Amino acid sequence: MKVLVTVMPKAGVLDPQGKAIGHALAGLGFEGVGEVRAGKVIELELAESDPGRAKSAAEAMARKLLANTVIESFRVELA
């Protein structure tokens, strides 16, 4: 079963990569872009066939390794 884990900086946490992307977009002439936040998407292929257990396993992986839960939040979706 395929699972997507999306990790983003928490609100209020500085995001220098997002700032750099926003600045670069403005430099390329793209107008009207507000705040930019940069994160990551991790795609997992799990052997688990039960959707609930697959989601629980991916959440445990995110808490233990994929996200720094002090400064990042994460979302798990079945794909």
Chain segment 10-40, per-residue pLDDT in tens: 999 999 999 999 999 999 999 999 999 999 9
40's enclosing H/E stretch is strand 40-45
45 burial type by CB count under 10 A (0-12 exposed, 13-18 middle, 19+ buried): exposed
CATH number of the domain to which 15 belongs: 3.30.1280.10
Instruction: Retrieve residue 22's tokens.
Output: 């926003």
pTM: 0.90
Percentage with pLDDT > 90 across the chain: 100
3-state secondary structure (DSSP) of residue 14: coil
Number of domains the chain is built from:
1
Q: State which residues form the domain around 22.
A: 2-78
How do beta strands 72-78 and 40-45 pair?
unpaired
- Per the CB < 8 A criterion, the answer to whether 42 and 59 are in contact is no
- Per the CB < 8 A criterion, the answer to whether 3 and 78 are in contact is yes
